[in-house]
Amino acid sequence: MSGKKERNKERREKRLQEISLLRTIPYSDHQRWWSQETVAVVTGANRGIGFEIARQLAGHGLTVILTSRNISVGIEATKALQEGGFSYDVHQLDILDGESISAFVEWIKQKYGGIDILVNNAGVNFNLGFDNSVEFARQVVDTNYYGTKNMIKAMIPVMKPSAASARIVNVSSRLGRLNGRRNRIQDATLREKLTNLETLSEELIDKTVSSFLQQVEDETWQSGGWPQTFTDYSVSKLAVNAYTRLVAKELCDRPQGEKIYINCYCPGWVKTAMTGWAGNISPEVAADTGVWLALLSDQAITGKRALLNAQRLVKSSTIANRTTTIFRPQYGWVSRFSSTNISNAQSLEMDLSTEESKRRLFNMLIFSISFWRGFLELDLVLGKWVEEHIYSMDENGIKALVHVLDLENPDLRRWLTGQERPPEAVSGNPVFSAVQGKVLKNLNHSAPETRATPGQPCVRGWDDFQKGHDVPITGGEKFLWRNLNSILE
């Protein structure tokens, strides 16, 4: 392993150890800083992740104010929550409507005197699967970025001073990562300016989103070097992430007793209306990290920025930083071939009744392979197989496919390549068998030196040849092929 890789690995492991410790915070009795007097506001809480964040916060004993832009829907949601035995309050709030925000702030001041926690959850996205329309770009940017900003600006003055400090949590997305390997702004100078706290400013963020919206209007955005997936949504969340870091910097000098901690996190790909219920984790799971961030005790907040693989977040913990960006996993933290996965597959809305509903479902499934599973070589094989077969599958076939898509790498990789024997439930799955047959056939025809033996360093990846990296790749988890094309055939 090269020195750099080793250092990265060490850093990651150290971080994970820290995280394991931090995960116990704040739920142990002596860390618990909140009470029923602690007031938390959740935006867009009438459904989805926001609803679940509100439910979990109330479950921890806080007073939760559920807000909804449509008050009657909000009241219905509150009734559903009250059946759980906790007390909630509800108020109308449209994060794009200045009057609605002012009325809410006045109400809060009069009824509660202020708040301790703000969860900016309300958001919109109008694309599914591979769709990448910018028809609603302005609404997306306005709601996700400017709406979040409106709320932060309006609520900071009513955040109660306290020894435990106040907190803001922004529900963001990994699609808005500035320096992700894929789906990022192409302009390296702009990325650097947005990353560097010395050059980051509200004007810069506003200018960036305005320039995108202007290009949308001029119909030139496609050559503008913007993120390629869910472009409008990615730009909006990128702005949220950058703004979170900026506000964190501005707030960090506040005196003890008046501190406000701000974080953002990605809940993962979640089964909510936003994804057409096609995500791979439940709103309960998606809410968990947000709730954890909202309840972190201040001793855990260290002021560094972190980008975490949230699979570990959930298994061992999350992170505790004043300017944390937490990314939950897109797959994998739900146990691999558990009953959960099976019920996920069954609860996936499988409407095959019309051409349009089929198109949306297939689009979503193909998308989930290539995007959420990470573009690994095997995912390409799987993706190609699915593209060829999905259109002729019946409902049972689709269910079998969804089960396979729920399997976690690297297990799936090892099973498909015959490195390990899969559990019976997997080997009996017709989609798995078909894809495995294809992989093994191609592997058998490939040159022996292109294959890794279990426990041995892997051979070079095809892209390393393309990049001209002439060094052996080691590390048992990676399974790379020199001759990807032969596998894809």
Binder to ligand NAP among 19, 25, 38, 48 (CB under 6 A)?
A: 48
Rule CB under 6 A: is residue 53 a binding residue for ligand NAP? no
Strand order in the sheet with 325-327: 88-92, 63-68, 39-42, 117-120, 166-171, 260-266, 325-327, 307-309
What is the rounded CA–CA span in Å between residue 225 and residue 164? 43
Contacts of 473 (CB under 8 A, 6+ apart): 457, 458, 459, 460, 461, 464, 480
- Half-sphere exposure of residue 188, counting CA atoms within 13 Å on the CB side? 1
Contacts of 4 (CB under 8 A, 6+ apart): none
Range in contact with ligand NAP (rule: CB under 6 A) among 110-118, 247-255, 266-274, 343-351:
266-274
Rule CB under 6 A: is residue 49 a binding residue for ligand NAP? yes
Rule CB under 6 A: is residue 266 a binding residue for ligand NAP? yes
Pair of tokens at residue 190: 């702009």
Give the nearest distance from C-beta 46 to ligand NAP in angstroms. Answer: 5
Rule CB under 6 A: is residue 47 a binding residue for ligand NAP? yes
Range in contact with ligand NAP (rule: CB under 6 A) among 57-65, 115-123, 183-191, 393-401:
115-123
What is the rounded CA–CA span in Å between residue 20 and residue 316? 5
What is the rounded CA–CA span in Å between residue 205 and residue 209? 6
**Residue closer to ligand NAP, measured from CB, 54 or 386:** 54
Binder to ligand NAP among 71, 75, 103, 124 (CB under 6 A)?
A: 124
Q: Are 168 and 254 in contact (CB under 8 A)?
A: no
Range in contact with ligand NAP (rule: CB under 6 A) among 5-13, 26-34, 89-97, 213-221:
89-97
Rule CB under 6 A: is residue 147 a binding residue for ligand NAP? yes
User: What is the x/- site pattern for ligand NAP, positions 4-43, by CB under 6 A?
Assistant: ---------------------------------------x
Contacts of 153 (CB under 8 A, 6+ apart): none
Q: Are 463 and 428 in contact (CB under 8 A)?
A: no
**Residue closer to ligand NAP, measured from CB, 22 or 53:** 53
Q: What is the dihedral of CA 93, 96, 99, 104, to 10 degrees?
A: 30
Rule CB under 6 A: is residue 122 a binding residue for ligand NAP? yes
The catalytic residue among 145, 146, 233, 261 is: 233
Rule CB under 6 A: is residue 280 a binding residue for ligand NAP? no
Question: Is 233 annotated in the active site?
Answer: yes
**Residue closer to ligand NAP, measured from CB, 147 or 329:** 147
**Residue closer to ligand NAP, measured from CB, 43 or 165:** 43
Rule CB under 6 A: is residue 273 a binding residue for ligand NAP? yes
Give the nearest distance from C-beta 433 to ligand NAP in angstroms. Answer: 30
What is the rounded CA–CA span in Å between residue 435 and residue 432? 5
Rule CB under 6 A: is residue 232 a binding residue for ligand NAP? no
CB atoms within 10 A of CB 378: 22
**Residue closer to ligand NAP, measured from CB, 266 or 382:** 266
**Residue closer to ligand NAP, measured from CB, 48 or 383:** 48
**Residue closer to ligand NAP, measured from CB, 72 or 456:** 72
Rule CB under 6 A: is residue 66 a binding residue for ligand NAP? no
Binder to ligand NAP among 123, 176, 276, 329 (CB under 6 A)?
A: 123
Rule CB under 6 A: is residue 94 a binding residue for ligand NAP? yes
Number of residues forming the site for ligand NAP (CB under 6 A): 31
Binder to ligand NAP among 70, 228, 299, 335 (CB under 6 A)?
A: 70
For residue 436, give the nearest of 362, 385, 489, 366 by alpha carbon: 385
Rule CB under 6 A: is residue 340 a binding residue for ligand NAP? no
List the Cα angle 386/389/393 in 5-degree steps: 110
Binder to ligand NAP among 171, 247, 381, 402 (CB under 6 A)?
A: 171
Q: What is the dihedral of CA 299, 305, 309, 310, to 10 degrees?
A: 50
Rule CB under 6 A: is residue 417 a binding residue for ligand NAP? no
Give the nearest distance from C-beta 120 to ligand NAP in angstroms. Answer: 8
Rule CB under 6 A: is residue 269 a binding residue for ligand NAP? yes
Range in contact with ligand NAP (rule: CB under 6 A) among 46-54, 208-216, 310-318, 472-480:
46-54
CA 324 remoteness from chain centre: 14
Rule CB under 6 A: is residue 143 a binding residue for ligand NAP? yes
Q: Which residues are catalytic?
A: 233
Residues that bind ligand NAP (CB under 6 A): 43-44, 46-50, 69-70, 93-96, 121-125, 143, 147, 171, 173, 266-267, 269-270, 272-275, 279
